[in-house]
Chain A
Amino acid sequence: MNPALLLLQSAPSRLISLGGVDISIIAIYFVVVLLIGFYLKGQSETGEDFFMAGREMTAWIAGLSFLSANLGSLELMGWAAAAYQYGILATHWYWIGAIPAMLFLGIVMMPFYYISKTHSVPGYLQLRFGEPSRALSAVSFGFMTVLMSGINMYSMALVMKVVLGWDINFSIWVSSITVAIYVALGGLRSAIFNEVLQFILIWVGALVIPVVGLVEAGGWDGMVKKIHANWQGQDYTHLWSTMGSFTDNPMGIHWTGIVLGLGWVISFGYWTTDFLVVQRVLAAKDLRAAKMAPIIGAGFKMMVPFIVILPGLLALAVLPFKLTGEGAALAAGGHSYNEVLPIMLARYCGPGLLGLGITALIAGFMSGMAGNVSAFATVWTYDIYRAFVKKDATDAHYVSMGRWCTVLGVLISIGTAYLVMEFKSIMDYVQALFSFFIAPLFGTVILGMLWKRATPQGGFWGLLTGTGASIAMWAWVKADPSALRYIAFSSNAKDMAENMYRALWSWLVCFVVTIVISLLTKSKPDKELVGLVYGCTEIPSEEQVPLYERPAFWAIVIAVVFVILQVIFW
């Protein structure tokens, strides 16, 4: 066994000991992110600057930030753990669970978000469907966002405790205060700048594992052979060929759940209506940059499995011991799936590189947290406070509210983090939240954008019944686990599969209710839908733009690569 891992196992209180060099690298990172916050404070004096980053980001910065805001703790730790647990099936969340939706956002939906000049997704709903829909969406988004932020914090603190032996309270408070300072000072611009920096750090820090891991395993073929030898009778290396039956794959899911639940409802819901990510694209400097940003993000998203999923697969191949679930690890004194990334980091990285790898993890946590907090501050200030509490205040007043709300959002998130500590599975918890709020919201937004007959009453009641149906289905299965066979078509379905199908049903409920009520009520006149709906909005032509600068061209390129990857790893 590797001596470093022997050392890890002999010291159960921590996985890794950092040296002076590693601590310096982490400290430099904290200094730089704070410096960026202080530097950008002077450029965030107006509401447009603070909440929308002045709408002057290039496509590259908006695109990388769009992706980085999503690269939180769940992405790095959670999906590496899921790859160890479920094999390459976890890649679905990066490919079919992201790429089509990101391309759809860029090409189809971005023109309406951008031309309407909305500052948020609830803001778009207000323009399209009126105040009740905005209120419902803003409140549910705020609730989900602080929960997500709390999950981020908890994950980070847990990693620091398990990996480095740091006190969990120390980790939560130091990272939270840092994020609160740089977002409160520089607003969305500071969050975006730091997210770009964090994106680069995540790559340079995490890339060591797949590079050295593939050398150790003997390349991709060598890794696959080792996995088959170590885990006989289980298929961890095929994306689609094991999905014909619920029982043939480690996730217990059928391909219909992946395609319709994940690839359609959850993915499109998250990437096209979750304001956390859409906010980054709204900050683009013009419509073409706004359309290109999600496409650039999609290109990089396709590559993320290389630094997240591959480490999990490599662990299946090369680790001389087996990782288990959290409960079994605690009972037997071993390591859990959730520790797979730091274990691989310790396996390959010496002093210096280890500090860089840990910095990458911290950067991931902070980018996710900053994304949640900046989006929460915008929605709270514009869609709740300005809409329902204080309508006629000055711009400076709203900026001040945004800064305080950033701090408040962080404090609520800290409280949430302590609550989340009691929850058994971080990943499944988040997926459940998505199906509560995001899946129905996608039904409302897509009908609002593409069907001019959709009415304010239809939009509101569709969203409300979709959300209610999702929560009701979740409660039904909790009360009576046998109900799973109705919701997910199989009593073998795991939590993730259940979430996929629940999202699909709640979207369908929202979709059908919106259509039925819209047909029974009076629609808005076309002149009130200009800039908001397909058929009433003039989209600027790109005929004068060279082919290689057109978003549609690059969307096709990404789509072709996406299809090729599915075939290669079928």
Chain B
Amino acid sequence: MPKHISIWFFTGVLLLVYGVIIFGAGIYALSNPPEHPVVLESLHIDIWWGVALTVIGAIYCWKFVPSGKE
């Protein structure tokens, strides 16, 4: 394990995982609309939010991935 893992890498991983989950939940809601939809459901904010988090998380993971060097 590298001696120093940046906090930004942890942040990237968490945002990436959350982005994928929220995007997936949004896609699922498209095909299975909830019984009690939220206000402005037509915006599909969960899909957009999921994509944004995935992209930001991926960028942080790539930029701050631990190299194994000091």
Contact = CB atoms under 8 A, between A and B. Distances in A.
A28 B14 contact: yes
Interface string A27-45: 0110010011001000000
A273 B43 CA distance: 46
Most buried by B among A3, A25, A201, A351: A351
Interface residues of B, number: 28
A352 B40 contact: no
Contact of B36 (A4, A25, A196, A208): A4
Contact of B5 (A21, A39, A212): A39
Contacts of A396: none
Given A200-B11, A348-B45, A351-B34, A216 B40 contact: yes
A348 B38 CA distance: 5
Contacts of A350: 25-26, 29, 34, 37-38, 41, 46
Given A215-B43, A350-B25, A352-B21, A204 B53 contact: yes
Interface string A335-362: 0000000000011111111001000000
B7 A196 contact: yes
Contact of A204 (B15, B26, B45): B15
Given A3-B37, A4-B38, A352-B21, A212 B7 contact: no
A6 to B, nearest CB: 8
Contacts of B39: 2, 4, 212, 216, 347-348
Interface in A216-253: 216
Interface in B5-28: 5, 7, 10-11, 13-15, 17-18, 21-22, 24-26
A135 interface: no
Contact of A212 (B11, B26, B45): B45
Nearest to A352: B25
Nearest to B19: A204
A520 interface: no
A216 B7 CA distance: 36
A356 B43 CA distance: 18
Main secondary structure of the interface of A (DSSP, over half): helix
A25 B43 CA distance: 22
A35 B46 CA distance: 27
Interface residues of A, number: 35
Contacts of B29: 350-351
B11 A352 contact: no
Contacts of B7: 36, 61, 193, 196-197
A212 B15 CA distance: 20
B38 A197 contact: no
A24 interface: yes
Nearest to A17: B36
A499 to B, nearest CB: 36
Contacts of A200: 11, 15
B27 to A, nearest CB: 10
A197 B5 CA distance: 14
Contacts of B34: 350-351
B22 A353 contact: yes
Contacts of A349: 38, 45-46
A557 interface: no
Interface in A78-134: none
Most buried by A among B7, B40, B45: B7
B64 interface: no
Contacts of A7: 36
Contacts of A39: 5
Top 4 closest pairs, chain A to chain B, by CB: A352-B25, A352-B22, A3-B36, A193-B7
Interface of A: 2-4, 6-7, 21, 24-25, 28-29, 32, 35-36, 39, 61, 193, 196-197, 200-201, 204, 208, 211-212, 215-216, 346-353, 356
14 contacts: A2-B39, A32-B14, A197-B11, A200-B11, A201-B14, A208-B49, A211-B45, A215-B40, A347-B38, A348-B39, A350-B29, A350-B38, A353-B25, A353-B45
Given A347-B39, A348-B39, A351-B25, 14 more contacts: A4-B37, A24-B21, A25-B22, A39-B5, A197-B10, A212-B43, A212-B45, A346-B38, A349-B38, A350-B37, A351-B34, A352-B26, A352-B50, A353-B22
Interface of B: 5, 7, 10-11, 13-15, 17-18, 21-22, 24-26, 29, 34, 36-41, 43, 45-46, 49-50, 53
